[in-house]
A and B are shown apart, each in its own frame.
Chain A
């Protein structure tokens, strides 16, 4: 049989199944193999908060989407070209996202009346003609798997659990993925259990061979490696990159890293990762609660360690009082908020960027602290180093705002040369900084550096610098308790000024406005922050493909904002701010710059998709041209654009 090989520039595959079906592992393996092949890629895991929701129900569906291409891509993709559905619920839960003409591979094994009912189907979608607009491959993957691994004598249950590897094998064949990495992975993973190892490897190979030998699949696809900057790459998730950033920050500063943390989704993986790397002088402390996590980190910082706490929104609420103390003590401290859907317990496994205002203002009194946000999974590494630089240099707690999609999403990471990482100088106080009445040296714990306004970091054990700090208002310079009205006014303004002067250390803001240098710049600017970088960038590219001009700025520093931002905003006739909240950055920009920043918001727990976001931007451009925002020919209504 001659097989057709079709060239594609990019593909989006979504693996979907029950929470117990191993879809996250399947997606992760496909991703690793794709990375090894050399495509650019971006991933979006999506799973329920319940560990094992009732099997076969919509509530228990877990999915993993991977977007890979022969060119540089920015997002995990809008709609899957291929859906792999391991049961009726997985099909039903994901079908709405699948565009007409896409491929659906279904494991038919669980399409019994009972399981169809569990998923909410009244009739079998595989036979009632509702899927005619898709290319459906209905295969009993489970039975094929059980047959293939029969020789290993596993229970039927254990044998059928290898079906995810069968599916992986089949997809690997279809898209020409290398098989060695997964074979090696399975060999290591199940090294202690040879039967499971052999069964999984066999299922994987059988899946591959099934594609190769049956005639059901007439086409394979080829997606050439992407032309990426030269260098050594690995695939990395945001949480892993953040953990590596902390270890690197410890190395670059020479400070022992102390993580005080209480497990919380989606931040726990940072605790897990760091706890494996004690040889880098990392101590991980699983505290009794969120408050103790940050408290212990602050205590460690008082003692001269790099104090870190990791959490998500609900945990930040609990840590607020300690953050206020850290603002008052002026000690370096890093708080990593891996944002999730809120308020309250909200959507633990879904993404959102709705903690920005909490990070800015969520403490009593005037308690400013710097805020840094990574823009992509790999960028979590650099953003962490930047946050630590600020914390240590300016003696301040810093909030690092990642989110669920960055935490669990992954992308290729061009590995940095460790020798190029900037050092971070703790610059501990070692000697008196003032003269006492008797002519000897004395120590003023709140005497500030003229440039940074930072106070000395005098750690216990340093002779002659004994001092007491605390949450009560301090007298300027001496740090003694002071209830003096003028002193309080001075100290409140000084703490704010210290955060403000950080702006001086920031690089010029990068404005992506290709025509600007030729004097043909865009009239509209899109401003974003955090994980929306990819989606906004992809939407901007789409708009530019229409030969329309739009500029993009993506903020890494949310507090203080870059010093040139006001001038940049003023250059554009329209400023649009897409956010996964109800307009928190837009509120800050409006308040700070008196600019009419127009918010575009989505709070669905899912990242923006590029196509609808592009339509929103097109709508804004039409309005700038004096036309109505909505055009009927568009596939996606331009929601959020004032008509």
Chain B
């Protein structure tokens, strides 16, 4: 078998570069569909929906060129509430469906809305392959660490020992860290945000939308019915300074009251750990480089998230690198073939059908 050098990588372009823009001024109302929103009172999904409806007008795209594709789960009802094109598909398959759409329609802004069960359990395979291919999609992964729609079983992000209806003696499997998983698949845009921080959520979504390639944003989202308080450590005004490890590209990773805490790298293992800045000095802190081609540092940062009950977690954009996208390259191969051999027409079809070995019967 041989490998060929692909034609020069498609230049770094905005993820929305091929999506037509609107001349009209849009408001949040333009993006609200006529369907009544039916999540439980207090559900974090409302906040995300509001943020998305509020931020889409800023993108200035033609509404009809936006598509939301979801799987199954509470959050997957999302497309019904947005007045764009949408598909509420089947469990776990939204990344695959969105891939076919994104490859064939570069003029669309394609979003995937999924949850921890949808994306990481039944649809895990599609998620990692979408990330591996770097298809131009924006994936919103609502992580509430529980199965909501099926009424409260543990999920692949639930902490070990979780007592639920299906695990009365505590779950025995270890959870996925979605950011680590995405970085392991070498996702080119990997971020985490939290439903309660509207400003941060919006900022991350904007960056994700304009990233060319697969963007995945893990959203910590509270389920008030089956897993209430899972993210309280990051919401409480008094504690959050010490629990949210805020990641900013080009800045030292520093957090806590008065910036007293920071993150350093172990010179032997390469792993990251939280330290008192006073003990090590500011110069010892890791400077976050989201644009690093090598995902190792981003992965090491992602390991600072607790595997059990969450008390501390990095929030922000872990990785944002420009790499050729699958869909750009696939379309380029078609365009190249059409350029060098001529676009297929009826004469070309006749020649194709005939092939090289024909004979004529009089």
Contacts and interface: CB of A to CB of B under 8 A. Distances in A.
Interface string B327-355: 00011011011100111111111101111
Nearest to B351: A418
A300 interface: yes
B321 interface: no
B122 to A, nearest CB: 10
B85 interface: yes
A288 B357 CA distance: 36
A256 B359 contact: no
A260 B90 CA distance: 17
A469 B88 CA distance: 6
B100 A285 contact: yes
Nearest to B76: A470
A313 interface: no
Contacts of B336: 278
Interface string B52-96: 000000000011111101001000000110111111111101001
Contacts of A301: 100
B32 to A, nearest CB: 12
B79 A280 contact: no
A297 B93 contact: no
B361 A472 contact: no
B253 interface: no
A462 to B, nearest CB: 6
Given A325-B90, A469-B86, A297 B100 contact: yes
A418 B360 CA distance: 17
A460 B342 contact: no
Given A248-B349, A292-B96, A466 B360 contact: no
B75 to A, nearest CB: 14
A381 B65 CA distance: 35
Interface stretch (B104-112, B192-200, B217-225, B289-297): B104-112
Contacts of B344: 247, 251, 277, 279-281
Given A233-B359, A281-B338, A469 B87 contact: yes
B150 to A, nearest CB: 15
B360 A233 contact: yes
Most chain B CB within a 10 A radius of its CB, from A295, A300, A480: A295
A296 B97 CA distance: 4
B105 A460 contact: yes
A303 B101 CA distance: 6
Contact of B352 (A277, A304, A460): A277
Contact of A282 (B91, B129, B334, B342): B334
Contacts of B65: 460-461
Interface in A463-517: 463-472, 480-481
A299 B80 contact: no
B357 A468 contact: no
A470 B78 CA distance: 12
B64 A300 contact: no
A418 B334 contact: no
A467 B85 contact: yes
Q: Point out which of A225, A301, A418 has the most chain B C-beta atoms below 10 A from its C-beta.
A: A418
B349 A247 contact: yes
Given A460-B105, A481-B80, A299 B86 contact: no
Give the size category of B's interface with A.
35 or more
Contact of B359 (A35, A292, A481): A35
Nearest to B72: A471
Contacts of A322: 90, 93
A166 interface: no
A321 interface: yes
Given A460-B65, A461-B105, A280 B348 contact: yes
B85 to A, nearest CB: 4
Listed residue (B79, B103, B125, B347) with the most chain A CB atoms within 10 angstroms of its CB: B103
A360 B120 CA distance: 32
B355 A295 contact: no
B357 A292 contact: no
B126 A230 contact: no
Contacts of A462: 64
A36 interface: yes
Contacts of A251: 344-346, 349
B334 A283 contact: yes
A38 B64 contact: no
B361 A471 contact: no
Contacts of B331: 283
Contacts of B355: 234
A300 B101 contact: yes
A228 interface: yes
A185 to B, nearest CB: 9
B42 to A, nearest CB: 22
Judged by DSSP, the binding face of A is: mixed
B126 A470 contact: no
Contacts of B243: none
B87 A470 contact: yes
Contacts of A234: 353-355, 357-359
B33 interface: yes
A71 B205 CA distance: 69
Interface in A242-301: 244, 247-248, 251, 256, 258, 260, 277-283, 285, 287-289, 291-292, 295-301
A302 interface: yes
Interface string A406-427: 0000000001111100000000
Contacts of A415: 350, 353-354, 358
A415 B337 CA distance: 25
Interface in B277-314: none
A280 to B, nearest CB: 3
B2 interface: no
B246 interface: no
Contacts of B269: none
A229 interface: yes
Given A258-B104, A279-B337, A418-B349, A302 B97 contact: yes
Contacts of A32: 357
A244 B348 CA distance: 12
B99 interface: yes
The CB with the most chain A CB atoms within 10 A, among B72, B97, B336, is that of B97
Interface string A379-420: 001000000000000000000000000000000000111110
Nearest to B105: A303
A32 B337 CA distance: 28
Contacts of A38: 359, 361
B362 interface: yes
A27 B87 CA distance: 49
Contacts of B87: 299, 302, 329, 468-470
A288 B95 CA distance: 11
A362 B349 CA distance: 36
B35 interface: yes
A460 B354 contact: no
A328 to B, nearest CB: 9
B98 interface: yes
A416 B353 contact: yes
A545 interface: no
27 contacts: A36-B359, A232-B360, A233-B358, A279-B334, A279-B342, A280-B343, A283-B104, A292-B125, A292-B126, A292-B129, A295-B97, A296-B97, A298-B97, A299-B87, A299-B96, A300-B100, A300-B103, A303-B101, A305-B104, A321-B91, A322-B90, A324-B90, A325-B89, A415-B358, A460-B85, A468-B87, A469-B88
Interface of B: 33, 35, 62-67, 69, 72, 79-80, 82-91, 93, 96-105, 107-108, 125-126, 129, 330-331, 333-334, 336-338, 341-350, 352-355, 357-362
Interface of A: 32, 35-36, 38, 181, 225, 228-235, 244, 247-248, 251, 256, 258, 260, 277-283, 285, 287-289, 291-292, 295-305, 307, 321-322, 324-325, 329, 381, 415-419, 460-472, 480-481
Given A279-B343, A285-B99, 18 more contacts: A225-B361, A230-B362, A232-B354, A234-B354, A285-B330, A299-B100, A302-B100, A303-B101, A321-B90, A329-B87, A416-B353, A460-B67, A460-B85, A463-B62, A468-B80, A468-B88, A470-B87, A472-B88
